Homo-oligomer: A and B are copies of this chain.
Amino acid sequence: MSAPRLHPEFFIRLFLGGSAMLGPGKAALLEGIARTGSISAAGRDLGMSYKRAWTLVEDLNAMFREPLVESARGGPGGGGATLTDTGRQVLTLYREIEAASAAINAERLAALKSMRPAGNNG
């Protein structure tokens, strides 16, 4: 196993106006940063390059009035990154949206899956 493949059957991508979009990748990255305290560590966990992780963070910080991630070069451990209050709020809202959608549609999703060919269920 390489990246802890998030399985969900339910991928939600939010379009917040302009080209600002928020999906599973950015949410997972925010969560990884909250957990590890580092952009690069979060990126490693998710199997993405530091460059890509950093680019996503830049996108995230640009798409809200206040940044979601605060970062520091140097210092103890070489540096690090943490979620701001706004970052935590956005992540929480996204997770709630995911969970609520999955819960309210569980039956419909099961109906769809029951129409699939045998042996192809994930």
Q: From the candidates B14, B96, B100, B120, name the one contacting A9 in the complex (CB within 8 A).
A: B14
Judge whether A115 and B65 touch: CB under 8 Å.
yes
Determine if A108 is an interface residue (Cβ-Cβ < 8 Å): yes
- What residue in chain B is nearest A122 (Cβ atoms)? B17
A63 vs B120: C-alpha distance in the bound complex, in angstroms?
9
Q: Which residues of B contact A77 (CB under 8 A)?
A: none
What is the number of residues of chain A that contact chain B, defined by CB distance less than 8 Å? Answer: 41
Name the prevailing secondary structure of the A interface residues. mixed
Q: Check A97–B89 contact: CB distance below 8 A.
A: no
The copy count of this chain in the complex is: 2
A112–B14 CB distance below 8 A: yes
Selected from B10, B18, B97, B121, the residue in CB contact (under 8 A) with A120 is B18
Q: Which of A76-122 contact B (CB under 8 A)?
A: 86, 89-90, 93-94, 96-97, 100-101, 104-105, 108-109, 111-113, 115-118, 120-122
Give the B-binding residues of A (Cβ under 8 A): 7-18, 20, 22, 63-66, 86, 89-90, 93-94, 96-97, 100-101, 104-105, 108-109, 111-113, 115-118, 120-122
